[in-house]
Amino acid sequence: MDAKTNELVGIAAAVAGHCQRCFSYHYNEAKKIGIDQKDIQEVIESAKAIRRTGGNNMDEFVDRMLKQKE
């Protein structure tokens, strides 16, 4: 994997995984190697959407499970 892809994947994983330390590291590395802010913002928005969807799906799953137990 090339350096740009590696850092963008790291940023996305950090956002989706709620890891501030990881995000700081990969964001700083991305800036060091000259990754455009637009590319960084795009991957952040994608990761936020994935995180949001996962959270919503989990909430729905938990609600369904609770209803089954009634």
- What pLDDT shows up at residue 70? 65
Q: CATH number of the domain at 22, please.
A: 1.20.1290.10
C-alpha distances out from residue 41 to 8, 15, 18, 69, Å:
10, 11, 16, 42
* Degrees, nearest 5: CA angle 26-19-27: 20
Mean model confidence pLDDT for the chain: 94
* Degrees, nearest 5: CA angle 57-9-59: 10
Percent of the chain with pLDDT strictly greater than 90: 83
Q: With a cut of 80, say whether residue 11 has pLDDT above it.
A: yes
| Residue range 45-67, pLDDT digits in tens | 999 999 998 888 888 999 999 99
**Cβ atoms within 10 Å, residue 43:** 20
Q: Give me the number of domains the chain comprises.
A: 1
| Residue showing tokens 């928005």 | 45
* Average pLDDT over every residue of 36-51: 96
What domain range is 47 assigned to?
3-68
- What pLDDT shows up at residue 56? 86
